[in-house]
Amino acid sequence: MRVPLSWLREFVDIELTPEQLAERLTLLGMEVSAIEHIGADWQRIVVGELLEVLPHPNSRKLSLTRVRTGASEPELSIVCGATNIEVGQRIPVALPGSVLPGDRHIDITTIAGTQSQGMLCSGDELGLTSDADGILILPADAQLGVDMADMAGDVVLDIDVKPNRGDALSILGLAREVAAATGATLRWPDLSVVEAGDATSDHLRVDVEDPDLCPVFVGRYVDAITLGPSPWDVQRRLIAAGVRPISNVVDASNYVLLELGKPIHTFDADAVREGHIIVRRARDGERLETLDHVGRELTTDTLLISDAAGPLAIAGVMGGAASEVGDATTSVIIESAIFDPVSVRRTAFRYALRSEASLRFEKGQEHRMARLGADRTAALIGAWAGGRVAVGVVDTAPDAPQAVRIAFRPARTSQLLGQTLGIDEQRALLERVQIRTERARAGEMITVIAGDDPLRVAVNELVDALVAIVPGHRRDLSIESDLIEEIARVRGYETLPGRLPDTAMPPYLADPQRPLDELRAQLAGAGLNEIVSHGLIGPEDHARLGLGPDDEQTVRTTNPVTVDHSELRRSMIPEHLRVLLENERQRTPDVRAFEIGALHAWHDGEPAERLVLGLMLAGRENPLTYDRVATPADMATAKGLLEQLAARQLRCRLEYEPVSARDGVEHPGRIAAVVAVAPEGERTSLGRVGELHPILLRHYQVRAEHVVFAEIDLDAYRRLIPGRVRVGRLEHLPGVERDIAVVVAADQPVGELEALIHAHGGSHLRAVTLFDEYRGSPLGDDEKSVAFRLRYETLDHDLDDGMVELMVERVVAVLSERLGARLRA
């Protein structure tokens, strides 16, 4: 909320600088997000009078004006592009040598061949209003030559009022906070009304059919109105507060909205049939043209202000065009009502009409404000528009509700804050925000939790309790801890000493992320860059993966910010290709990246989340260097990385099984399932590794021809991490290595050979390394030779050569028997 200090000062004396005041308010919970000094960046901007407005000789869009800024000042000839100017008006004139906001310097210039000795200013140019089209028209009695800073300057605090403090969404409410912060006394505005003529009831009758949604409606009637601009002091305040002045009557209701926080609506009394207002829900098929000239179909839960003929306004949200106060208005009905917060909020959302008024209704209104708002508005219209305020009010609920009593235990304050505060101090602190306290009576209830399922504790002789009598405007206070917060806030949190937790420690639990730290460090150490990409991707991304709009497992959102980010990802591939594309555009085509993140899918009607490692390699395997050929990253690179992880963290080796490629996603000949094989032989599927399909790459406009990708299920991966690793006795005896080369069919998957060697190599076989694969002469075209190095180690005795020979022979025999392999000479 924008708070002009000049306005605030009407209700409370302020001896602090704006900066000091801002800090005090911030520390009290009314956060000042900006301090604006209106007029501080103006130089040589003064009030002038238009003596002449002529068409510009060389331009149809411009006018040539003659301006006077004082009896003894030379007349100025100024070119102006605005169309709202007339002879006799007073306007802000930027004299030659003047400065406008944004450090804009105005000097004598030539515009369209004519000299211009300065500039006439719009509200926008002065940084006052957002009105950039017309010149700011000042009141006719503005004194010539007066500095504009004196006419319109102010200091404005922009205060971020928290959603629970609707009472502070007003100048008066914030003045109350200033008083609490500084100890100054709050001064209320003059709320007296001069009444004359008829009784209000002669002109206004109000029936509330739905008192739940409209607990109170106060109406007043004012006639003999002369519509016109408000006094300048009113206009400049509204402008400083960010509200555009419109007319004295409309300004009066806006003024009360800002001053008291009470939304007011004024109807042209002639448009209200028989002066009879009915507050009711809309009926089926009813329509209303609202102030913004949009015809709206009304739903039956919309609360209306209506007359016998039909709807006049959407209660608390927006008035109707037909009853709008306009130039012809001579009498008005003032509505100062209170509406159900939830109903107003829902209605405002439904019609997308949230306004300053609906915002305040949503937060709840103090009951007495209905009457005070009506009186204040009537008095202001009387003063500014020469109106005659009819005698008395129509008030559907004149009796104020009882003050709210909240019992609390002062000992609880100390217990919660961790700082001992005496009862007297607590009472005095509450007094500063107008909360009186008294001793709680035995049997009175302390509300720990309010609402439909409250938790209450009875006051008895064992419980030392106070009762706070809460003023009507503090609708945010309802339970014991609300008062504790109030005490802490008013005392100031800077007085709360910090202390490290010294209570009992919870039992030890391992950090579930630690294994992932190790994995990340390992991959980064291998030269990969960790990335974090979007969790939400587009339907098109999923369609490219073969997961079209009909796919039932995709988790979709109802109201995405953009369709490109509307579905929770089921794969990291699309986002990673996008990352690759962006990096290729930045001329860094070598992208070696990994990400740890969640994938989502529906599973038995429940959303299921899977933690996944995504790995992408594009471009060169290693950076360019001077003495090696740069090799492209390929599937083997990715496999090597995965094997290193598996060896280090899982103590597993990996096997790869051919799988059918996802159409148009994976390279049909370069995709495998990744299977972890534990030393005991247990097999766990971990995910896939392979190359992406060129068509998919083309979809993402990626330039790389080969992109390697792996997606590893980290939930399965983490389960394989052994809780305890047994190293046991070290094998200090030398190992024995034997190389075998076998000739097999050219299309024989090597993985099968390796798996068989592991399975039949005997218990002392420690490692199998493929070290050669050869095709060509003297082998047949349909043959290849593969060579493995087998390493045998044992704990307890030397391996004798004969034993190793036997074991190797057995392996060769199995290979020959199962896969038709023959030993290569």
Partner 1 sequence: MDVASFSAQLDELRARAVSAIDGADSPEALDAIESGMLGRKGELRGVLGGIGALSAEDRPKVGALANPVRGSIEAALADRRVSLEAEALDARLRTGAQDVTLPGRRRARGSLHPLVETEREIARIFGRFGFVVVDSPEVESDELNFGALNIPADHPACDLWDTIYVEEPAGTERDDRLLLRTHTSPGQIRAMRDRRPPIRVLTPGRCYRYEAVDASHSFEFFQIEGLMVDEGTTMAHLRGLLDAFAHAMFGADRATRFRPGYYPFTEPSVAFDIGCVVCEGEGCPACKRTGWMTILGAGMVHPVVLRNGGIDPEHYQGFAFGMGTDRIAMLRYAITDIRAFLANDMRFLERL
Residue closer to partner 1, measured from CB, 151 or 348: 348
Backbone angles phi, psi at 388, to 5 degrees: -110, 120
Is the alpha carbon torsion for 39, 41, 46, 48 positive or negative? negative
Report residue 713 as tokens: 């299920």
d(CA 402, CA 102): 53
d(CA 79, CA 58): 11
Task: Give the one residue of 6, 16, 23, 224 binding partner 1; rule: CB under 8 A.
Answer: 23
Neighbours of 77 (CB within 10 A): 16
CB atoms within 10 A of CB 291: 17
Site for partner 1 in 365-404 (CB under 8 A): none
Piece of the chain touching partner 1 by CB under 8 A; list 37-45, 160-168, 237-245, 287-295: 160-168
CA distance 348 to 362: 9
Residues 321-360 that bind partner 1 (CB under 8 A): 341-342, 345-346, 359
Query: Which residue in 288, 591, 615, 671 binds partner 1 (CB under 8 A)?
Result: 591
- Figure out which of the listed residues 524, 563, 759, 813 binds partner 1, where binding follows CB under 8 A: 524
Window 478-497: residues binding partner 1 (CB under 8 A): 479, 481-482, 484-485, 488-489, 493-494, 496-497
Where in 230-249 is the site for partner 1 (CB under 8 A)? Answer: none
Q: Which residue's CB is nearer to partner 1, number 73 or number 518?
A: 518
Q: What's the min distance (Å) between Cβ of 343 and partner 1?
A: 9
Stretch of 26-34, 112-120, 287-295, 689-697 contacting partner 1, by CB under 8 A: 26-34
- Residue 588 binds partner 1 (CB under 8 A): yes
Query: 528-567: which residues touch partner 1 (CB under 8 A)?
Result: 528-536, 552, 555-561, 565
User: Which of residues 418, 548, 658, 780 is near partner 1 by CB under 8 A?
Assistant: 418
Contact 42, 114 (CB under 8 A): no
Query: Per CB under 8 A, does 206 bind partner 1?
Result: no
Which listed residue (141, 327, 502, 781) binds partner 1 by CB under 8 A?
Answer: 502
Tell me how far, at minimum, the Cβ of 399 lies from partner 1, in Å.
27
Which residue carries 């307890």 as its tokens? 796
Question: Which region, judged by CB under 8 A, interacts with partner 1, from 188-196, 295-303, 319-327, 499-507?
Answer: 499-507
Minimum Å distance from CB 589 to partner 1? 10
Q: Is 417 in the site for partner 1 (CB under 8 A)?
A: yes
25 and 65 in contact (C-beta within 8 Å)? no
Q: Give the tokens for residue 591.
A: 């992208």
Specify the stretch interacting with partner 1 by CB under 8 A; choose among 54-62, 298-306, 518-526, 737-745. Answer: 518-526
Stretch that binds partner 1, among 74-82, 129-137, 385-393, 525-533 (CB under 8 A): 525-533
In the list 37, 105, 162, 719, the residue contacting partner 1 (rule: CB under 8 A) is: 162
Q: Which of residues 435-454 bind partner 1 (CB under 8 A)?
A: 448-449, 451
Q: Which of 333, 330, 349, 331 is nearest to 341 (CA)?
A: 349
Structure tokens at 281: 């829900």
Cα–Cα distance measured from residue 230 to residue 236, given in angstroms and rounded to the nearest whole number: 10
Applying CB under 8 A, among 176, 296, 363, 653 the residue interacting with partner 1 is 363
Q: Which of 211, 326, 422, 527 binds partner 1 (CB under 8 A)?
A: 527
Residue 38 touching partner 1 (CB under 8 A): no
Cα–Cα distance measured from residue 711 to residue 579, given in angstroms and rounded to the nearest whole number: 16
- Biggest CA–CA distance in the chain, Å, is 127
Angle at 202 between CA 196 and CA 203, to 5 degrees: 90
Name the pairing type of β-strands 276-281 and 205-208: parallel
Number of chain residues interacting with partner 1 (CB under 8 A):
108
Query: Closest separation between CB of residue 487 and partner 1, Å?
Result: 9
Q: Does residue 165 interact with partner 1 by CB under 8 A? A: yes
List 593, 612, 635, 815, residue binding partner 1 (CB under 8 A): 593
Q: With binding defined as CB under 8 A, does residue 640 bind partner 1?
A: no
Q: Which of helix, strand or coil describes residue 50?
A: strand
Q: Write phi, then psi, for 187 (nearest 5 degrees).
A: -110, 125
Name every residue whose Cβ is closer than 8 Å to that of residue 784 and which is 6 or more positions away in sequence.
743, 744, 745, 746, 748, 773, 774, 775
| DSSP secondary structure, 74-129, as one string | PPEEEEE--SS--TT-EEEEEEEEEEETTTEEE-EEEETTEEEESEE-BTTTTTS-
Q: Is 596 in the site for partner 1 (CB under 8 A)?
A: yes
User: Does 631 sit near partner 1 (CB under 8 A)?
Assistant: no
